[in-house]
Amino acid sequence: GAVVSQHPSWVICKSGTSVKIECRSLDFQATTMFWYRQFPKQSLMLMATSNEGSKATYEQGVEKDKFLINHASLTLSTLTVTSAHPEDSSFYICSAREEGNTEAFFGQGTRLTVV
Amino acid sequence: LAKTTQPISMDSYEGQEVNITCSHNNIATNDYITWYQQFPSQGPRFIIQGYKTKVTNEVASLFIPADRKSSTLSLPRVSLSDTAVYYCLVGEGGGFKTIFGAGTRLFVKA
């Protein structure tokens, strides 16, 4: 199957700083990318959907000014957690889909810990 | 978006066949059914996808009745390494939002 690479796998940052997470589709063009957040023992919660070259569409309750998403190319989307706080600590996962394909491929996730 | 309902958890023993059923009463005509597997601290991994009847690949089978209001993921002869959370998703192919339900936590015992 297609490969989606997420970087970094884990990150620890100080409260008040910003963190950027990258999501790359390695062998296909991802016209649509999705960002999720997952807390321990819970399911994945969709945060936003981004289409290449367009502004991201955020799910209800997700602060777009706090979670900045950029999908500037067909192989790269980034999620920036701005002014991170301990409650933002979570497992962040991206997925990508190629236009016309019914299957979404997931990255390996990024464990964010804010101290 | 169609909502899915799965059992919260299931236990099995090594070598047994495991069937996990998912209900999706509001499935739309254009919706596909996709199953993912997730291990702790990893992203979900695609298992199988289908639209109707039966689909089989090297790791699982997916049974979908004619009314498509449910589907059953069948894992033949599970092993300890199949212990994971399994998610059933329903959505329109080609551009749907992948909304995850609660998933089924499968625990395989020796």
Burial status of residue A51 (CB atoms within 10 A of its CB: 0-12, 13-18, 19 or more): middle
Task: Look at A43 and B94 and tell me if their CB atoms are within 8 Å.
Answer: no
Please name the member of A6, A34, A100 whose beta carbon is closest to the beta carbon of B98: A34
A68 in contact with B at a CB cutoff of 8 Å?
no
Phi, psi of A6 (to 5 degrees): -120, 140
Sign of CA dihedral B106, B46, A73, A75: positive
What distance in Å separates the CA atoms of residue A89 and residue B34, rounded to the nearest whole number?
29
Task: Look at B32 and A101 and tell me if their CB atoms are within 8 Å.
Answer: no
DSSP B87: E
Task: Look at B100 and A36 and tell me if their CB atoms are within 8 Å.
Answer: yes
Q: Mean pLDDT by 10-residue block, N- to C-terminus, for chain B (110 residues)?
A: 86 97 90 93 93 94 96 97 95 63 95
- Residue by residue, DSSP assigns A50-90 as EETTSPPEEPTT--TTTEEEEEEETTEEEEEE-S--GGG-E
Task: Look at A102 and B94 and tell me if their CB atoms are within 8 Å.
Answer: yes
Phi, psi of B11 (to 5 degrees): -115, 150
Q: Select from B89, B7, B11 the least CA-distant residue to B48.
A: B89
Per-residue model confidence as pLDDT tens digits over A98-108:
887 778 899 99
Residues of B with CB under 8 A from a CB of A: 32, 34, 36, 41-46, 49, 87, 93-95, 97-103
List all residues 6 or more positions away from B52 whose beta carbon is below 8 Å from its beta carbon.
B64, B66, B68
Average pLDDT, integer, range A87-97? 95
Looking at the complex, report in whole angstroms how far the Cα of residue B9 sits from the nearest Cα belonging to chain A: 12
A97 in contact with B at a CB cutoff of 8 Å?
yes
- pLDDT for residue A61: 94
Average model confidence (pLDDT) across chain A: 93
Q: Select from A81, A105, A103 the least CA-distant residue to A92.
A: A81
Rg of the Cα atoms in chain A: 13
Asked whether the beta carbons of B21 and B7 are under 8 A apart, the reply is yes
- pLDDT for residue B30: 84
Per-residue model confidence as pLDDT tens digits over A36-67:
999 999 999 999 999 888 889 999 999 999 99
- pLDDT for residue A1: 65
